[in-house]
């Protein structure tokens, strides 16, 4: 028997005060505990219809805690909604 732990997280990005660009730059640097890098990924979704599952461009995953954790560093742009 296996025990599974599921965690769902969302990140909401506000429009920068200084700009009115069509795309907003986002940079994340997150450490996830007790989940190996092979199980961690980034999905991007916005209200204009963009939906990318398993985003990997400009993404670096670094194992932490002897492979029991993962640090994710990624940069991408999202559509301004």
pLDDT of 20 above 50: yes
pTM of the model: 0.66
51: Cα within 13 Å, side-chain hemisphere: 2
Distance (Å) of CA 29 to CA 4, 47, 49, 66: 25, 24, 25, 19
Give the span between the Cα atoms of 45 and 10, in whole angstroms.
Answer: 10
pLDDT for residue 24: 81
C-beta separation of 15 from 80 below 8 A:
yes
When pLDDT is averaged across residues 5-30 and rounded to a whole number, the result is 68
Span 54-78, pLDDT tens digits: 777 888 999 999 989 999 999 988 8
**pLDDT for residue 17:** 61
Tell me which H or E stretch contains 77. Answer: strand 69-79
């Amino acid at each position: 028997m296996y025990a599974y732990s599921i965690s769902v997280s969302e990140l909401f990005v506000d429009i920068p005060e200084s700009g009115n660009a069509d795309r907003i730059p986002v940079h994340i640097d997150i450490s996830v505990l007790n989940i190996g890098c092979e199980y961690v990924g980034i999905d991007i979704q916005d209200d204009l219809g963009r939906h990318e599952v398993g985003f990997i461009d400009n993404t670096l995953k670094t194992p932490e805690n002897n492979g029991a954790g993962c640090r994710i560093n990624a940069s991408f742009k999202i559509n301004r909604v």
